[in-house]
Structure 1
Amino acid sequence: MSFNNPGKGCLDVYRTLRQLYLPLYLARADIRQRYRRSTLGPFWITISTGIMVATMGIIFGQVFKAPMAELLPFLAAGLVIWSFISSTLTEATEVFVGAQAVIRQLPIPLFVHVVRLLAKNFYIFLHNIVIFFLVLLYFHESLGLVSLLSILGLILLILNLSWLSLLLGIVCSRFRDLTQIVASLLQIFFYLTPIIWLPSLLPEKTSMMVLTGNPFFHLIEVVRAPLLNQVPTSLNWAFTIVFAILGWLFTIFIFNRYRSKIAYWL
């Protein structure tokens, strides 16, 4: 694939980015349609997430004997970020299947559907992150300048979710059974990733084994650590950056090769 003769997948992504207003508008329309007759709208998800944070904080605070002022902000940030990740990846398995009528009838780039999905879940994430700031307010904590690094972490997270969602959409369009496998793997990683438990609770050797090769730990940590006034480690940054670069290169290769076949798999 040369620059003068890019693959169909590259052109698809390029055309999507040129008309980015389209998936963003569709994402807002999805949220309005889902909560059309609801007074609180997407804040219902925020309320349910807040109740879950409070409940789990009380229970696991007692189980792990952890100070609530330390555990609850950690738990709130982790659950909100994990909800963004898991919702996006779960829905990504059916992103093209669910849009098959549009794909067969309208000549719009396929990556539009991925960005639409990602934008919808990002809007919900922005609603849910309010919970974290309420927790900080409750414990009279404040954000420092290091918290600005969470913006860079969020950009890296979105870049990684973009290629993961596109890749899952392609593969799961061909092999539908993978949808259930992805859901099961996400459940496993939820417990393997420090979201409801603190990394300091693990012995050093176990912590290295569980966390070093866990991609979700690094993806969460580059966003969560700055929000907790901590600087992510160089390993966190290196992993998320390399993960994004290699992931996009592999996904573009797959997208170039199989983009024209997706409509026939639906």
Structure 2
Amino acid sequence: MSPGETPAAQEKLAEDTAGSAEVEPIASDSQTFQRAFKDFRVGFGQRELWLSLGWQDIKQRYRRSVLGPFWITIATGVQAAAIGLLYAALLNQPIKDYLPYVAVGIIVWNVINASILEGSDVFIANEGLIKQLPSALSVHVYRLVWRQLLFFAHNMLIYLVVLIAFGVWEKLHWTAIFAIPALGLLFLNAMWVSIVFGIFSTRYRDIAPILGSLTLMLFVLTPVMWNTKSLESQGGQVSERAKLAEIIPTFHYLEIIRAPLLGDDQHLYHWAIVGAITVVGWLVAIFAMKQFRSRVPYWV
């Protein structure tokens, strides 16, 4: 007891101290929507970092190569030509129409495939940076999507060749401009796919091999190598077998991009389905970032 301080004064001081501790509790905001949105905002603000890292990934992959990143274009072009020529003969399809169809399909499919497979590994592959570099978690997602955008840009050289060599430009009309927002939707979906699969694959390592088998199955079921027109009935009506292809979500992503690029008719319901998947996917991604963002560095 301090000199001149009564027991009553000490008791009052103790009550005031306890009250102030109750008024200002220490609460963590690591699992809030505010922190999740802040991660996206801060990550986008660090674009010099992920732009540089994404471009460095491509340079590193083709280091000491004479053609460099253009090996991406050559490999995809050879694959499209081989599949196009083979299946045009097997399905009795005219090469002039079928090969451009397959070429654009493979170019778009490569983005979808990489978004799922590389997206599931996005945080595991960047374990060192996550633990040592003080940056937003979304930086690694931006880096992945930027890298896939660069790959896509290289592969579009194949489309330009097809456009001229097979006379596709003659069928194009003003609706070809819809390919631009369609591509925007594709890469917007690539982001939420990388976030959701990346987070849960980091926690449960069995998810990545499952996704590997799933993407192979989707490639077979999605009209990349085959055309739904070949399933139409003789009367020109779409058969029940052709309608089964619409159950596969990736089919709609292909159609909103491939149709305008080839001058084919476009259907609004493809856009509606892709839009609905985009909204639902981003809601799941935002919730996953809110709930598990702070745990990823401990899981990797």
- Determine whether 1:229 maps to 2:258: no
Q: Counterpart in 2 of 1:99?
A: 126
- 1:201 is aligned, of 227, 230, 239, to 230
Q: Which runs of 5 or more structure 2 residues have no equivalent in the other structure? A: 1-31, 233-238
Specify every segment of 5 or more residues in structure 1 that has no aligned partner in the other structure, as ranges. Answer: none
**How far did 1:231 drift?**
4.1
Matched positions, count: 261
Query: What's the C-alpha RMSD, in Å, of the aligned pairs?
Result: 1.3
Aligned-pair CA distance for 1:23 = 1.3
Q: SS of the residue aligned with 2:241? A: helix
In the superposition, the TM-score normalised over structure 2's length comes to 0.84
CA distance in 1, matches of 2:44, 2:275: 21
The one-letter amino acid of 2:197's match is L
Tell me which residue corresponds to 1:37: 64
Show CA shifts across 1:202-221 (max 9, x none).
Answer: 2421121222x211011111
1:57 to 80, 84, 94: 84
Distance 1:132 1:116 in 2: 25
Which has more radius of gyration? 2
For the Cα contact (< 8 Å) 2:33–2:286, is it kept in 1? no
Aligned mate of 2:274, from 208, 232, 240 = 240
Contact 2:106 2:224 (8 Å CA) reproduced: yes
Counterpart amino acid of 2:56?
A: A
Residue 27 of structure 1 is matched in structure 2 by: 54
**What do the CA deviations read for 1:40-82 (whole angstroms, capped 9, x no partner)?**
1111121111111111111101110011111011000000110
Cα offsets for 1:116-161 (capped at 9, x unmatched): 0111111011111111221221112314322111001000111111
AA of the residue aligned to 1:39: V
Relative to structure 1, the CA distance from residue 145 to residue 21 in structure 2 (aligned partners, 3 Å threshold; closer, same or farther) is farther
Matching residue's letter, 2:241:
T
How far 1:169 moved relative to its partner?
A: 0.5
Residue aligning to 2:20: none
Q: Distance in 2 between matches of 1:256 and 1:135?
A: 45
Alignment of 1:186-197 (within 5 A): 186-197=215-226
After superposition, residues 31-180 of structure 1 pair within 5 angstroms as: 31-142=58-169, 143-180=172-209
SS for the counterpart of 2:168 is coil
